[in-house]
Amino acid sequence: MQGKSKNDLIIRVGGEGGEGVISVGDFITQACARAGLDVYTFKTFPAEIKGGYAMYQLRASTEAVYNQGDIFDVLCVFNGEAYEMNKARLKPGHALVYDCPGDFTPDIPEGVHAYPIPMTQTAKDLNNVRAKNMVAMGALSVLFNIPEASLREVLTAKFARKGDAVVQGNITAFERGLELARALKKTDPWAIGTPKKDPDRDVIVMSGNNAIGLGAMIAGLEFFSAYPITPATEVAIYVAKHLPKRGGTLIQAEDEIASISQVLGASYAGKKAMTSTSGPGLALMGEMIGMAFMSETPCVVVDVQRGGPSTGMPTKHEQSDLFLAVHGGHGDCGRIVLSVENVQDCVALTVTAFNLAEKYQCPVILLSDGSLAFSTQSSPYPDPASFTIVNRERWDGKGEYNRYKLTESGISPMVDPGTPGGMHIATGLEHSEKGTPSYAGENHEIMQAKRFNKLKTVVNDVPLTEVDGEGDADIGIITWGGTIGVVREAVQRLRAEGIKVKGFYPKLLHPLPVEQFEDFGKGCKRILLPEVNFLGQLAHFVRAETSLRPESYTICGGLPFTPEMIVKRVKEMLA
């Protein structure tokens, strides 16, 4: 039962939270990656522990993929709610796999290839009601050429620690799904293509949150404190598994204010320290981020953005914390802000965040988002030896020690507590070079200049902003965060149609690399800036700090952009 292979196939699985929808997606993703395919996933689920609509979208390709894609080719639904949520997106040629008999009877649109699979009933017949998702996965494997051997491997590895009986129960349900699908006549053209890459190539498949944790380990993380919050908690879970093995310390604090306070205490004690949170937590940390700037204490704060404001939509995608990240704090409060594009960035830019915090002795905020947090992608395996690791400048022990000594670079050597001759005061009060409190206006101006001027060279310690394309362009597209991957593909499609378009993908958002923005804008007749927030936050900063006047394109419905949305908007601009 083979259809026409497709270099790039998108499968969406939907159902009720707790039915194993996310597990099915994870298993298929791992199997495709093991077989040598590039994978990119997107998942969304309700804030409730059980119940509500959950969805997993997998894109598997023989080519490199940069985002979750436009729309599915294959839809697998576990219940009526999932069908209703996606019915409007079913188009002629799409394939539908659904539970039958189930809690609904689908009114299948014309031209859609439908495959009824008795998922629930089969699981009941096997006295294993929780294996409904395994039945579905077996059917998907046969119908769309998902590597069966790889699926068996990941299933066995996943359930091995639960014992042979659990492994066999799931394998049996999986095999029953294979049989049910083989009994059907395949009418659609979809089948995952044959991998072009070596399945044994050195890649890693992991989520954005886990990749941030891995990057922190590579950077030399020694202390981590955080308060659980969706969608950032998995960063802490990953760190909790691995940091103690290397002698580090992890604390679950009573709240976000306590976590950032503990991070600053650990950093003052000489340790590389980090916390992770989401928008509501970052808002609570504002005063202590100011303390980090005033006391020139290195720290890394990871903000995995979610739908807001307030409690907002905790499990939904948004990139709307840029205003907060750049200006969240009282007074003139400096910091460095970075933003990640993909899983590979989550590793590399976390290392960069630590390097910048250590070198410039200031808070560094690393922005991720709810989509990337749970998205799993295949990327080159990171070699720790390939990263340059920066440690803070420490006092050489000669002469009198002044913690905030005025230097040409603005960076003053640090000492660990207990260092002979290195006693000093470090508080949130304005201070003299020695660290003693000072309320003199002239001193405050000198010290603020010291703290801000040292940040002027940050741009030299971050790779140049990537320009996607050469020569002049009718439309230049600037974007940030996870939207970069969407724009990459949109730019490729537009160029294939002969449209002159270029992309510009900054990872350093504050201090803004103004000259690089200006250079990009010189070669573009018009500029589009898509971002997932209501106010056009990066566009605001670009207009404020450069001569560019980008046209904002914003959405905030809880989902990312798709490439087709960007393509359509560019064509509208050119019409």
Determine the pLDDT at residue 343.
96
The DSSP code for 456 is G
The answer to whether 213 touches 235, Cβ cutoff 8 Å, is yes
The secondary structure of 402-425, three-state, reads CCCCCCCCCCCCECCCCCCCCCCC
Helix boundaries (H) for 21-131: 21-34, 80-86, 119-125
8 Å CB contact between 292 and 362? yes
What is the average pLDDT across 191-210?
A: 79
- pLDDT tens, 301-316? 999 999 999 999 998 9
The yes-or-no verdict on residue 5 having pLDDT over 60 is no
Residues 226-275: tens digit of each pLDDT: 999 999 999 999 999 999 999 999 999 999 999 999 999 999 999 999 99
Establish whether domains 205-386 and 466-574 are of one fold.
yes
Residue 130, token pair as written in the block: 């929780």
Indicate the pLDDT class of residue 102, thresholds 50, 70 and 90. Answer: confident
Q: Is the model's pLDDT at 520 over the cut of 50? A: yes
Using CA atoms, how far apart are residues 407 and 312, in angstroms rounded to an integer?
45
What was the pLDDT predicted at 358?
Answer: 98
Question: Quick check: 40 pLDDT over 50?
Answer: yes
How would you class 257 by CB atoms within 10 Å of its CB: exposed for 0-12, middle for 13-18, buried for 19 or more?
A: middle
User: Hey, what's the torsion of the CAs at 476, 59, 150, 7, to 10 degrees?
Assistant: -80
207 strand-pairing partners: 376
Structure tokens at 458: 């940050």
For the domain with range 5-198, which CATH number is right: 3.40.50.1820, 3.40.920.10, 3.30.450.40, 3.40.190.10?
3.40.920.10
Q: Which CATH superfamily is domain 205-386 in?
A: Thiamin diphosphate (ThDP)-binding fold, Pyr/PP domains (3.40.50.970)
pLDDT tier, 196 (very low <50, low <70, confident <90, very high otherwise): low
**In degrees rounded to 5, what are phi and psi of residue 526?**
-140, 155
Q: What is the pLDDT at residue 2?
A: 45
Given CATH 3.50.50.60, say whether it is the number of domain 466-574. Answer: no
pLDDT surpassing 50 at residue 90: yes
Domain assignments of the chain as residue spans, ordered by start: 5-198, 205-386, 466-574
pLDDT for 193 equals 79
Helix, coil or strand: residue 300: strand
Query: What average pLDDT does range 27-48 have in this prediction?
Result: 87
CA-nearest of 65, 92, 69, 63 to 5 is: 63
Buried b (16+ CB within 10 A) or exposed e, 378-410: bbeebeeeebeebebeebeeeeebbbbeeeeeb
Confidence class for position 391, pLDDT limits 50, 70, 90? very high
**What is the pTM for the complete model shown?**
0.93
- pLDDT, one tens digit per residue, over 118-142 is 999 999 999 998 999 999 999 999 9
Tens of pLDDT, residue by residue over 48-62, are 656 688 999 999 998
CA dihedral 501, 507, 509, 513 (to 10 degrees): -70
User: Cα 123 to the chain's mean position, in Å?
Assistant: 35
Q: 124-155 burial, b for 16+ CB within 10 Å, e for fewer?
A: eebebeebbbbbbbbbbbbbbbbbeebbeebb
In the chain, the percentage of residues whose pLDDT exceeds 70 is 97
* Per-residue pLDDT tens over the stretch 531-545: 999 999 999 999 999
Q: Is residue 422 within 8 Å of 405, Cβ to Cβ? A: no
Quick: pLDDT tens for 150-177.
Answer: 999 999 999 999 999 999 999 999 999 9
Confidence band, pLDDT 50/70/90 cuts, at residue 322? very high
Q: What is the mean pLDDT of the chain?
A: 94
Q: What is the pLDDT of residue 17?
A: 85
Examine the pLDDT at 3 and tell me if it is beyond 60: no
